[in-house]
Amino acid sequence: MTAVAAPTAGAGTYSDDELARDLRWWAAANYLTAAQIYLQANPLLREPLTPDHIKPRLLGHWGTSPGLTMVYALLNRLIRRTGQQTLLVVGPGHGGPAMLAGAYLDGTYSEVHPEVSQDLTGLVRFVRQFSTPGGVPSHAGVHIPGSIHEGGELGYALLHAAGAVFDDPDLLVACVIGDGEAETGPLAASWRLPAFLNPRRDGAVLPILHLNGYKISGPTVLGRSPDEDIRGYLRGQGWDPVVVAGDVPARVFVELDAALATAHARIREVQDRAHAGAAPDGVRWPAIVLRTPKGWTGPRTVDGVPVEGTHRAHQVPLARVREDPEHRAQLAGWLHSYRPEESFDEAGRLAPELAALAPSDDLRLSASPRAGGPRFRVRPLPLPDLADYALAVPSPGAVRHETTRPLGELLRDVLTRTGRTDGGGDFRLFCPDETNSNRLGAVFQATDRCSMLPVQPGDESIGPDGRVMEVLSEHLCEGWLEGYTLTGRHGLFATYEAFAMVGASMIVQHAKWLQQAATEPDRSPVPSLNVLLTSTTWRNDHNGFSHQGPGLIDTVAPLSPDVVRIWFPPDANSTLVVAEECLRSRGRVNLIVVDKQQHLQYLDLEAARTLVSSGAAVWEWAGTEEPDRNRSDLPDVVLAAAGDVPTLEVLAAAQLLRDHVPHLRIRVVDVVDLMGLLPPGEHPAALDPERFADLFTDTVDVVFAFHGHPRAIHPLVHGRPDVDRFHVRGFTEHGTTTTPFDMVVLNRMSRYDLVLEALRRSRRVPEGGDTLARLCREQLRRHREHVVEALEDLPEVRDWTWEAEQR
C-alpha cells in the first residue's frame, strides 16, 4: 500500500488506507445529510425508494454541506493525530444537516438524545426530525451538540470563534466562513483579529474561507475574485493564507489535510515561541482559502440544467422527488452513490472502522466541554464586596458624582481577581474606544487595552496582555463577548447608548440562542450578555442628535421574557448592585442604562440593594404622603421615574409640588427593573398585583418620566388596571448639541412639564395649583427665550439642578 506524500512540510503522510477511510466517512456524512433533507423512512435505502419515503415538504440546504463534512472529516483526523482541543464554528449555518450528520457519526448525538439511537430505529428518527414540525430546526443551532454558533443571520462566525479562544490557550477554533457571509460588514471587520490575538495567552482561530462561488441566486464577490487579490486582502490583515482548490475529492482531501496540518504546526510554533518569551507582535496566522463546488457530489444536472457547482445547488437540488419518478430515480441514484450499505451494518450501526474515526470523548467536535454540553463548567465570578466601592450618600441628593466611576473601580478589581500570570483570565471588558470616556478608566490600573500592534512612546495602557478590548466596532465588541460567554467566561460590553443600536440585530439573535438553549436538556446556562449603555441620550447634549437614541430598549423589551432584563439604576450605588446582579446571572441579556456624567446620588448601598431587589420602590422622602397611612389612603397623583435623568426631573418636580402645593398628596416611585411593569405571567420579574398597586395604585393617575421613548411604557403596563391613567414623558426624538436641561425641555420631560402634567392629572385641584402652573409655564418660556437669546447675548446657559431649585 503506497502512501500519498503530503505536499507541505509538517503534514506527515496520508496513507491510502487512511484516505480511503476518511472518504468513506465523508460519504456516510454526505449520505446522512441528503437523507435528512429528503427521507422520512427507509433511511438506509434498503427498499426501492417510493413517494412514501419522501418527506411531504423538502427543507434544507445541500449546497454548503459537502464542504462542511469534508472539513469535519479532516479535523477529526487532525485531532486524532494531535490531540488538539478543537471547536468547529460553521458560518454557513444553513449546513445544519451536515453538522447533525457529524454529531451523529461521532456518537454524541445519540448520547445526548438516546431516542435517536445508533441503529435503524434511531436513523428513522434522525432523518425524520430534521426540519419537521416538532422536530429539529434546519440550522447549525443550539440543538446541535458542539455548536456555539447558529449561522442563521450571517456575519458573526469569526467573531464567535475569536471570543471562544480569548484566554483559552489550549483551544483551536476552526471557523468556516462562506463567501456569502464574507460580503457582510461584521465579517469583513472581524478579519482584523490578529491585531487582538495574543499567542501567549489566547488560543488560535483557523479561518477556512470556503468559496463555493454562489449565494442563493448569484455569484459571490470573493468567489469571482482572483486568488492573488484574496491573498493580499488577508495578508494585509495579519493572516498567511494558503489556497486549496479542486473538485476531485481525493486530491482535495490530501491537499486540505496538508494545509490543516501545516496550519496547526505553524500555530503551535507561534504559540510555543510566544510561551518561550518571543515578542508577540508581527505574527501572521495561518488561514485557508478553500474552493470547492457548491453542492459537490450532488446531482450534476437536473432536467438538463447544471446544478452542482452553481447557485441551483443552494437548497434542495431535486425538488419534485415525490411527484416525479425521474427526479425520484435520480435521488435514489445520488443517495446510492454514497454506498450506505458499506457505512452501516444490517442493524443500522455505523461500521466500526468508521466509528473509530471519531476522536475520543471530549475531543470530539460535537462533545467539547467548551461548547455548552453537560460537562461544560462556568467558574463563578469572584466578585468583591460592593461596600468597598459604594459612595457614601448621607442623604438623598447630598452628593454629586460620576455615576459609572465606582463601577469602573469594581471592574478593576474583578479584572485583577480573574487574571492569570500569563495575562489571561476569565473576565474581559469590551468597549468601542470609550472606556475612559465612559468613566470606567480605573480598569487600566489592573490591565491594558489589548493590542498586538507596535506600542509607541507615549501610549497609555496598551499592550498585548490587556483584557480591555477596545475596537471601534460595536459588532466586534458584541460578537467577541458573545463568543466569550458562550464558552463560559464573563464580560461586559460598555458602549454609547445610541450606537448600541449598531449591534441590535446581534443582540436579538443572541437572545434567541439563549431562549432556545434553556430548552436543551444538555446545555448548562452560560454567563449573561451584559451591556452597559452609557453616554446616554439625555447626556449626549455635547455630541448632538446622532448620538441621542434609546432605541435598543425598544428592540430588547419584546424579546423572550425569560432572557431579557432592562435596568435603570438611578445612581452609582444602585448601578453597583445592578452590575453585581447581572454579572452573577446566567442565560440573560441584561441592558444596564445609566449615564456616566456627574449626577446627584440618592441611595446608600443598603437602600440601593433594597431598591434593586424589589425592582421599584416608593421614595417616601420625596413625596407628601403620611408614612403611617392606610393602604386605602390614595395619593392624588403618582410621579414615577425610570432612569437617572428622569429621576432627577421627577424629584425636582416633587420638590416644586411640595413647596407650592404642600397639601397635594404626591407619591414618588422609582423603577429600576423595567420588566417589573409587565403584568404577572408576562415576565418572571413582573411585580405581583398587590405590589404594583402599592406603588402605582389601581386608579390614581401616574405621571411617568422615562429614559427611553415614552410610548415604550404603554406596552409594558398593558394588562395592569386602567392603563389610560399612565401619562409618560420621555425622549420624543428631539435633540441637538445643547445643554442637558434644554434636552429635557425639548422633549417635554422637564420638571416644569412634569409639574404641569401632575397638576392636570391630579385627582384634586390643589390650592396654589394655578400659581404653580403659571410659574412653570413662565420658567419654560424663559428657558426658550434664553436659548433663543443665547446667540445674541451668550450668557452661560444654566444647567438647572435639583439642588439649585432647592435653594
Outline where DSSP puts E strands in 602-698.
616-618, 637-642, 666-671
Write down the least CB distance from residue 623 to a copy of itself, Å: 25
Q: Which residues, 515 to 534, sit near a copy of itself by CB under 8 A?
A: 515-516
Q: Which residues, 7 to 26, sit near a copy of itself by CB under 8 A?
A: none
Choose between 219 and 662: whose C-beta lies nearer to a copy of itself: 219
Choose between 167 and 448: whose C-beta lies nearer to a copy of itself: 448
Write down the least CB distance from residue 658 to a copy of itself, Å: 29
Residues 6+ apart with CB under 8 A from 150: 93, 139, 140, 141, 142, 509, 513
Residue recorded with cell 443551532: 141
132 near a copy of itself, rule: CB under 8 A: yes
183 near a copy of itself, rule: CB under 8 A: yes
- The stretches of 518-666 forming alpha helices (DSSP H) are 551-556, 572-584, 605-614, 644-660
Eight-state DSSP code of residue 603: -
131 near a copy of itself, rule: CB under 8 A: yes
Q: Out of 4, 585, 787, 805, which residue is the one contacting a copy of itself (CB under 8 A)?
A: 787
Number of residues that make up the chain: 807
The amino acid occupying position 516 is Q
* Euclidean distance between CA atoms 250 and 557, whole angstroms: 52
163 near a copy of itself, rule: CB under 8 A: no
Q: Look up residue 251 and give its three cell numbers.
A: 486530491
Write down the least CB distance from residue 542 to a copy of itself, Å: 5
Q: Out of 722, 767, 770, 778, which residue is the one contacting a copy of itself (CB under 8 A)?
A: 722
Outline where DSSP puts E strands in 372-450.
399-402, 427-431, 449-450
Q: Which residues, 217 to 256, sit near a copy of itself by CB under 8 A?
A: 217-221, 224-225, 228-238
Write down the least CB distance from residue 483 to a copy of itself, Å: 16
Choose between 512 and 761: whose C-beta lies nearer to a copy of itself: 512
Residues 6+ apart with CB under 8 A from 715: 557, 558
Residue recorded with cell 433663543: 788
Write down the least CB distance from residue 607 to a copy of itself, Å: 32
Choose between 343 and 495: whose C-beta lies nearer to a copy of itself: 495
547 near a copy of itself, rule: CB under 8 A: yes
Question: What DSSP string runs through 84-107?
Answer: -EEEEEES-GGGHHHHHHHHHHHT
84 near a copy of itself, rule: CB under 8 A: no
Choose between 315 and 574: whose C-beta lies nearer to a copy of itself: 315
> Do 648 and 599 contact (CB within 8 A), yes or no?
yes
Q: Which residues, 267 to 326, sit near a copy of itself by CB under 8 A?
A: 306, 310
Residues 6+ apart with CB under 8 A from 630: none
Q: Out of 10, 107, 117, 125, which residue is the one contacting a copy of itself (CB under 8 A)?
A: 125
**Site stretch for a copy of itself (CB under 8 A), options 16-24, 203-211, 396-404, 715-723:** 715-723
> Do 332 and 45 contact (CB within 8 A), yes or no?
yes
Residues 6+ apart with CB under 8 A from 101: 28, 29, 30, 32, 33, 36, 69
459 near a copy of itself, rule: CB under 8 A: yes
Q: Out of 102, 146, 186, 408, which residue is the one contacting a copy of itself (CB under 8 A)?
A: 186
The amino acid occupying position 715 is P
Q: Out of 2, 421, 456, 632, which residue is the one contacting a copy of itself (CB under 8 A)?
A: 456
Choose between 256 and 502: whose C-beta lies nearer to a copy of itself: 502
* Burial group, residue 378, by CB count within 10 angstroms (0-12, 13-18, 19+): middle
345 near a copy of itself, rule: CB under 8 A: no
137 near a copy of itself, rule: CB under 8 A: yes
Q: Which residues, 48 to 77, sit near a copy of itself by CB under 8 A?
A: 55-57, 59
Choose between 6 and 716: whose C-beta lies nearer to a copy of itself: 716
Q: Look up residue 703 and give its three cell numbers.
A: 405621571
| Site size for a copy of itself (CB under 8 A) | 131
Q: Out of 8, 110, 121, 192, which residue is the one contacting a copy of itself (CB under 8 A)?
A: 192
C-alpha distances in Å from residue 682, one per residue of 249, 309, 370, 675: 54, 49, 33, 9
* Euclidean distance between CA atoms 408 and 442, whole angstroms: 5
Choose between 18 and 497: whose C-beta lies nearer to a copy of itself: 497
Three-state DSSP state, 547: helix
Q: What are phi and psi of 692, to 5 degrees?
A: -60, -45
195 near a copy of itself, rule: CB under 8 A: yes
545 near a copy of itself, rule: CB under 8 A: yes
Question: Which residues, in sequence order, are bridge partners of residue 591?
Answer: 531, 566
157 near a copy of itself, rule: CB under 8 A: no
Q: β-strand 3-5 against 13-15: which pairing, if any?
A: antiparallel
482 near a copy of itself, rule: CB under 8 A: no
Number of neighbours of residue 77 by Cβ within 10 angstroms: 21
Q: Out of 203, 551, 587, 623, which residue is the one contacting a copy of itself (CB under 8 A)?
A: 551
Sign of the four-CA dihedral 450, 454, 455, 456: negative
Question: What DSSP string runs through 128-144?
Answer: HHBTSTTSB-SSS-TTS
Using alpha carbons only, what angle is made at residue 398 by residues 394 and 401, rounded to the nearest 5 degrees? 105
Write down the least CB distance from residue 289 to a copy of itself, Å: 12
Q: Which residues, 596 to 625, sit near a copy of itself by CB under 8 A?
A: none
Q: Which residues, 419 to 448, sit near a copy of itself by CB under 8 A?
A: 433-437
Write down the least CB distance from residue 501 to a copy of itself, Å: 4
Write down the least CB distance from residue 555 to a copy of itself, Å: 6
Q: Which residues, 638 to 697, sit near a copy of itself by CB under 8 A?
A: none
Q: Out of 304, 521, 788, 807, which residue is the one contacting a copy of itself (CB under 8 A)?
A: 788
Q: Look up residue 657 and give its three cell numbers.
A: 409640588
117 near a copy of itself, rule: CB under 8 A: no
> Do 393 and 587 contact (CB within 8 A), yes or no?
no
**Site stretch for a copy of itself (CB under 8 A), options 255-263, 395-403, 472-480, 660-668:** 472-480
Eight-state DSSP code of residue 348: S
Q: Which residues, 556 to 585, sit near a copy of itself by CB under 8 A?
A: 557-560
Q: Look up residue 589 and give its three cell numbers.
A: 441579556
Q: Out of 360, 395, 737, 806, which residue is the one contacting a copy of itself (CB under 8 A)?
A: 737
